[in-house]
Chain A
Amino acid sequence: MRDRLSHLLHEVDRVPTALPAPADVRRRGVRLRRRRQAAAGGGALAVLAVVAVGMAALSGGQERLDAPPAAPRDSTPPSASAGASPSPSADGAAPTAAPGGEELPAAAVTTVAPGSSVRFSSPSGNISCFLSGTGAVCEIAEHDYQPPPRPADCELDHGTMIELDQTGPARFACHGDTGFVRDDPESPLTAPGPVLAYGEQITNGIFTCTSRRSGMACATADGGHGFELARAGFRTY
């Protein structure tokens, strides 16, 4: 089958396809790099700006994995991040939606219909996940932890995406730049998933993910395998 597919697809090769000149692509790459660098600087400012919010969370006795959630690094320029940072309500409840993100239903636990899958993000926008009936994958945009060593056979990115399935402990994935996280606000190719508010859970089959101020946690129903992912650290089991 492969030979036949390849042969037929090579016919398509004869059809001219207009591609921009390499210099145009490089210019786009430079713009992306500058935006990423600017966003990283904005994220650091935002972390400082919401320390007060984080202190409230830390005093709640929850195990600390994460630094206080930063405002989405791609939603506002650095100069505006502090003013746009989410603020706790009078009772200390977490903000439930990030700019640009649609909010999931307000139930404490959302169950995904069998056979379906769902994308969702942490309220900070720093962690994006994909949950299907066969597993959960979460990717983090900005992190302060030291990632594990890259496997010798991994040519792509490593240390930012954790995957969990039915085969065993969660592990870091070897992956390319995915567009999974919102690293390019102007790109039409990326879109934020709905926000899973702090304290809420989403379940699909045997997999459940919980959004916490301390990070995103996903586990199997028996609790035997899972992971926690946060700006400051991670745990896989």
Chain B
Amino acid sequence: MSAPDDDFDALYRVGAPRLVRQLLPLVRDRQEAADVVQEAFARAYARWSTVSGYDAPEAWVRSVAVRLAVSRWRRHRNSLVAWRRHGAPDDLPGASPDAVALVAALRRLPEVQRVAVVLHHLVDLSVEQVAAETGVPTGTVKTRLARGRAALALLLREQSPSLGGPGA
């Protein structure tokens, strides 16, 4: 195995699990998050000679993965409606009820708000970076974040009163 492959494998081993976790609110379940992450890393490897030269290859992979996740979400929107009617699948065994409630609440946000909240609060992108990622002005991102946070607080209060306070 060559040194570039070593670099890729190291990035994958460290970055893939983290990315799966960050994408969970954007997709239906862990398996779909894993599929998306695998696809993003495969695309990175397909052009690894370029991507590996970036200061932050993981940022490139993350950007790809987020877009793929959003694309999947749109495609499965109809099935999600049915899914919501029947409640969230228990795809987070071992996680606390609060964590499950949080992920479920994030998935119920409107798409644009969910993406903004996930990118800003979970992926730790700045408002400006979220704006660049989603192709909208920073003011729009701020509005989506504010509305997303407000909606999230309400949803969490419904699902888990302990999470619905001001700190949520």
A residues at B contact (CB < 8 Å): 1-2, 4-6, 8-15, 17-20, 22-23, 25-26, 28-30, 32-33, 36, 130, 134-135, 137, 155-157, 163, 165-167, 173-180, 184, 187, 189-191
Contact = CB atoms under 8 A, between A and B. Distances in A.
B167 A1 contact: yes
Contact of B21 (A12, A26, A137, A165): A12
Interface residues of B, number: 64
Contacts of B83: none
Nearest to A163: B135
A interface, by DSSP: helix, strand, loop or mixed?
mixed
A157 B41 CA distance: 15
A26 B61 CA distance: 14
A121 to B, nearest CB: 14
A176 B72 contact: no
A29 B62 contact: no
A135 B112 CA distance: 14
Nearest to B48: A29
Contacts, number: 157
Q: Give the 6 A-B residue pairs with the shortest CB-CB distance, closest first.
A: A29-B45, A176-B63, A28-B42, A22-B9, A32-B46, A33-B46
Interface of B: 5, 8-9, 12-13, 16-17, 20-22, 24, 30-31, 33-34, 36-48, 54-56, 59-64, 66-68, 71-72, 75, 92-96, 98-99, 102-103, 121-122, 124, 132-133, 135-137, 140, 149, 167-168
B35 to A, nearest CB: 8
Contacts of B45: 25-26, 28-30, 32-33
B96 A135 contact: no
Contact of A13 (B21, B31, B55): B21
A19 B121 CA distance: 24
Contacts of A22: 5, 8-9, 12-13
A19 B38 contact: yes
Contacts of A6: 121-122
Contacts of A157: 60
Contacts of B34: 17-19
A19 B35 CA distance: 8
A211 B147 CA distance: 35
